[in-house]
Amino acid sequence: MNAPTVAVLIVAAGFAIGDWISRAVPQRPWARRLEYVCKPATLALLVVAALTLDPESGSMRAWFVVALVCSLAGDIFLMLPSDRFVEGLGAFLLGHVAYVVGFVALGIEVVPAAIAAVAVMIIVGPVGVRIVRGARSHDARLTIPVTAYITVISAMIVAAGGSARPLAIVGAVSFAFSDSLIGWTRFVRPAGFASVTIMVTYHLGQALLLLSLV
């Protein structure tokens, strides 16, 4: 990895930590302002890092950049004062699709992908069912979008598994855990620790997916 990419990633890590702090102390008057700066800055810098590194596959990098830009849009939607959950969901859904296409562009190995698919059905399946039921109880109009989202993020985990790249697999799982925790706390049961955990696993997942390009 080249020096400019490392420098950008270090700065991105600083902004990510700032965002985690804003989530840890939401009652502070400056927490929301800190989030408004650090949350989008982290993803914007990951986009820059993706553009400056030396990837194994240029086409895979292009799709990952699209995924990061979509994630940046999703971050902005979800941190706005008004509830833009559906818009944020749509932006992240497109981001996961872009990640899947990026892995396909690299090439998918059948056996690792099959193993990942079985793991998804065993682990993600039951959690997804609970979240969809909760979303339907919350607002029946969310049933299809939430189901589609869970399907696409499951496909992303399978595609990452099919890449047989450890960083991609851990990154995809971490990203999926973050998203699942959002769905669980919103539609099933709130959790006091969730806010910080969501952002830590989200940023970790995005960074590891990015590093899997090298």
Instruction: Assign 3-state DSSP to the chain and report helix, strand, coil percentages, each to 5.
Output: 85, 0, 15
Structural domain range at position 174:
3-211
pLDDT at 168: 97
Distance CA 14, CA 58 (A): 28
Distance CA 77, CA 84 (A): 6
Name the domain count of the chain. 1
Q: How many Cβ atoms from other residues are within 10 Å of residue 199's Cβ?
A: 23
pLDDT at 132: 94
Distance CA 61, CA 84 (A): 29
pLDDT at 191: 75
What are the tens digits of pLDDT across the range 161-183? 999 999 999 999 999 999 999 99
pLDDT at 104: 95
Q: Which of the residues in the chain have pLDDT under 50?
A: none
DSSP 8-state secondary structure symbol assigned to residue 123: I
pLDDT at 96: 96
